[in-house]
Amino acid sequence: MEVSFSKEIEQLRMGAGETFHGEGILAITKALLQSGVAYVGGYQGAPVSHLLDVMVQAKSYMDELGVHVEACANEASAAAMLGASIHYPLRGAVTWKSIVGTNVAADALSNLSSPGVKGGVLVVVGEDYGEGASVIQERTHAYALKSGMLLLDPRPDLSRMVDMVEHAFRLSEASNMPALMELRIRACHVRGSFVAKDNQAPAISTRQLMTQPARFDYNRLAHPPVTFGHEKLKYQERLPAARRYIEAHGLNEFFAGEHADLGIIVQGGLYNTLIRALQQFDLADAFGESKIPLLVLNVTSPLVPEQIANFCLNKRSVLVMEEGQPEYIEQEIATLLRRRDIQTPLHGKDWLPQGGEYTAEAMAQGLQSWSERYLPQTPVAAQAAQWLQDNRERRLAVAEQLKARGQTLPARPPSFCIGCPERPVFSAIKLAQQAIGPLHVSADIGCHALGTFEPFSTGHTILGYGMSLASRAGVSPAMQQRVLSIMGDGGFWHNGLLTGVQSALFNGDDAVLLIFKNGYTSATGTQDIISTPADAAKLVAADKLQSLAHTNQTIERTLLGLGVQWLRTVHTYEVETMRATLLDAFTSDFKGLKVIVAEGECQLERQRRIKPWLAQLLKKGQRVQRVKYGVDEDVCNGDHACIRLSGCPTLTLKDNPDPLKVDPVATVIDGCVGCGLCGANAHAATLCPSFYRAEVVQNAGLWERLVQRLRSRWVRALQPA
């Protein structure tokens, strides 16, 4: 990747007493080093990508400390890496996006949790839940429960988060349980500060090697019959040990309040929002002093029964604020109270929304019902009701105002970048379907999933990262036409090669696979993969403007090696060639797996390379050519067929300058990188002839300028006004 994290790396070096200012996820990264972590791995994905990105770039510092960093092929390989801590006192941390990453890692996590760990293990999961999430809405909590892992959900305060990382390793070691730490999107991106400590170089490390492997110990294998013993260990020894540690070190926090006969139990990650909600009804002040006693669970699994029971005893009621469904914590508390015959009324999901992010407004709904019953002498319920009603009324008023004027606000989903190499392929797919009829398209995770949005609206299913070819296996045998599977190179290496390609070849499936070879896992932040153009190729490329995806042939060689017989590589911007290749794949007599590699380097990465290069050339006064496309406003027919085939952010509309015409005309605004799609589409789709390609040469040579001058004199003579 071309992004530099040098500033962030500097912050990782901070010593005791210095104040760290920055994002939550970077604070966590620093905390790992303060905890003496020996190895770090993971798979990129919002909102935790930065943890790994920064560590990978900080290689020389990591080598100094002796910390091994690995960019794993997928979450399963990251989780398997944690096996190092089964036998050896190594602290290990991995990271990924949850719930999807945890799903992929589940097998290794189960097999890790069963024998248990000697060195502390921490999995930092980006909880992709609520506003801004890009995956299915499920809870990671279930994994902690079923596999017997610790689950930490710290208050989104940088100092507390850092403390909790350090505790997590110790807690993991005290209980032999792997720990998960869930960080919500907003917590990962929270900008705050904390006072740093010195980093700890691990005792065993890439600098301090072990001389001997551990002795053979069947008990540490996840293999019968010892797995039966592991299961007992989980509840007989590990959970009690974890509970003792949590209680002894005060990981969960108790805050007293004037209404001592009431209480709220809240997940740590929701604490700030709860305080802001309570403030609205004068139940808390700016410093978090709450009038209602709070039990803040920085560790949400396991719960400490004594702690919960003591908190609930002698209270008129306890309210549980637990985000997501089902309400595991509330159910466990209910069971616990019932078993101990504690009669404190318990509320939670009966009054709070079942699903969705717990914003202050969601919390206010619960607080309203709860205070109506338990704080009837205060104005809290009335205030909450008023606030909620005002919100409803305001929204309704705006909706009606817009409706009266015939307006609905269109969504603005993300779209392919300007000049993205994947956009032209969707143009070609749209055009190809004009010739062969509609296709079933099996889509995938990655930037190309943006092809499911307008103007392409292409794709029937998304079954997971790298799953598009596999998810077609049941469709194509029952379909007359062949099925198109779309996969990115990220997905191909993450999973698709084995679950899709290998399976299709083994079963002799008649399938069509289109692989976007843009050279990076772009959707997660353009991380490098095995098929990324090598630095050497970037260095020797004379023309820095060109795509370098072709310089790495790992995907093609792998496919050929596996036995793929029908393989075509097409440059993505050649829309007509891509259309013809798709038609070929769909009409060919060849009955096996047909693979089209759509080659074109990620434009984001290219631009990050190109911009400084051009700036440098201009500074030196050297020749620079830039390309921009444009639309002739008097030729454009105002039908916008070009936009329906592109959706490029720089291809937009403006008022028709022609006083007789009414429909707005297309226009290309600043920012166009001259990728060529407009021209390729105009040809492939026979659009109206309004597009032009302009090449502007700055600092042209003497000869070039002379030719231009002569030429324009002639051209001018030919032109009418």
Partner 1 sequence: MTQPISILLCALGGEGGGVLTDWLVEAARHAGYPVQATSIPGVAQRTGATTYYLEIFPQLQSELGERRVVLGLNPLPGRLDLLVSSELLETARQVANGLSSVQRTRIITAGNRVLTTQEKMQMGDGRLDEASLLQVVQQQGQACHVLDMAGMTREAGTVVSAVMLGSMAACGLLPMQRRDYEAAIGQGSASQQASLRGFALGWEAVQQQRTQAQFLAELLPEPPIADAAPGLPETWQREFPAALHEVLGHARARLLDYQDQAYVDLYRERLRQVLAREQQTAPAECTATQEVARWLALWMAFDDIVRVADLKSRAQRLERVRQEVKAKDDDVLRVYDHFKPGLPEIAALLPTAWAQRLLQWEQRRLARGLPAKSWPLKIGTHSVIGMLLLRLLASLRRVRRWGSRYAQEQSLIEDWLAAVHAGLQQSHALGLEMARCGRLIKGYGSTQERGRDNLLHILQHLGSAAATASPEDRARAIQHAREAALKDEAGTSLDQVLQAHGAPARPLKVQPILWAGRRPRGLTQ
Quote the least distance from Cβ 634 to partner 1, whole Å: 5
Contacts (CB under 8 A) with partner 1, residues 347-406: 357, 359-361, 387, 390-392, 394-395, 398-399, 401-402, 405-406
CA 201, 204, 205, 211 torsion-angle sign? positive
Q: Is residue 191 within the footprint of partner 1 (CB under 8 A)?
A: yes
- Closest distance to partner 1 from the beta carbon of 107 (Å): 29
5 binds partner 1 (CB under 8 A): no
Give the range of 142-150, 368-376, 549-557, 711-719 binding partner 1 by CB under 8 A: 711-719
**Does 630 participate in binding partner 1 (rule CB under 8 A)?**
yes
What are the CA-CA distances from residue 228 to residues 113, 380, 410 (Å)? 13, 52, 56
- 56-95 positions binding partner 1, by CB under 8 A: none
Pick one of 209, 248, 409, 536: the residue that binds partner 1 (CB under 8 A): 409
Asked if 567 and 529 touch (Cβ cutoff 8 Å), the reply is: no
State in angstroms the smallest separation of the CB of 365 from partner 1: 12
Considering Cα of 201, then 206, then 211, then 212, what sign does the dihedral take? positive
The verdict on 586 binding partner 1 (CB under 8 A) reads: yes
Nearest approach, Cβ of residue 106 and partner 1 (Å): 26
**165/181 Cα distance (integer angstroms):** 8
Instruction: List binders of partner 1 among 120-159 (CB under 8 A).
Output: 131-132, 134, 156-157
Q: How far is the CB of 398 from partner 1 (least distance, A)?
A: 5
DSSP-derived 3-state class of residue 232? helix
Among the listed residues 100, 110, 101, 117, the one whose alpha carbon sits nearest the alpha carbon of residue 38: 117
CA 598 from chain centre, in angstroms, equals 24
Q: Judged by CB under 8 A, which of 4, 10, 18, 21 binds partner 1?
A: 21
**Whole-angstrom Cα distance, residue 35 to residue 584?**
57
| Calpha distance 433→719 (Å, rounded) | 42
Does 453 interact with partner 1 (rule: CB under 8 A)? yes
Our finding on whether 276 is near partner 1 (CB under 8 A) is yes
**Beta strands at 39-42 and 68-71: parallel, antiparallel or unpaired:** parallel
Q: Chain-centre distance of CA 59, in angstroms?
A: 23
Determine if 463 is a binding residue for partner 1 (CB under 8 A): no
Q: What is the DSSP string of 396-424?
A: HHHHHHHHHTT--PPP----PPTT-TTHH
For partner 1, which is the closer residue by CB, 226 or 653?
Answer: 653
Find the part of the chain contacting partner 1 (CB under 8 A) among 69-77, 82-90, 190-198, 373-381: 190-198
Q: How far is the CB of 16 from partner 1 (least distance, A)?
A: 20
634 touches partner 1 (CB under 8 A)? yes
Residue 540 or 697 having the CB closest to partner 1: 697
Contact between 662 and partner 1 by CB under 8 A: the answer reads yes
Q: Looking only at residues 675 through 704 of this chain, which bind partner 1 when binding is defined by CB under 8 A? A: 678-679, 682-683, 686, 688-689, 691-698, 700, 704
* Phi, psi of 708, deg, nearest 5: -60, -40
Judged by CB under 8 A, how many residues of this single chain contact partner 1? Answer: 131
**Region 521-540 residues binding partner 1, contact defined as CB under 8 A:** 523
376, 410, 561, 621: residue in contact with partner 1 (rule CB under 8 A): 410
Ranges assigned E (strand) in 248-315: 253-255, 262-267, 294-297, 299-301
Q: Quick check: 219 binds partner 1 (CB under 8 A)?
A: no
- Whether the CB-CB separation of 337 and 312 falls below 8 Å is answered with yes
In DSSP notation, 439-486 reads --EEE-SSGGGGGGSTTT---SEE-STT-TTGGGTTTGGG-SS--EEE
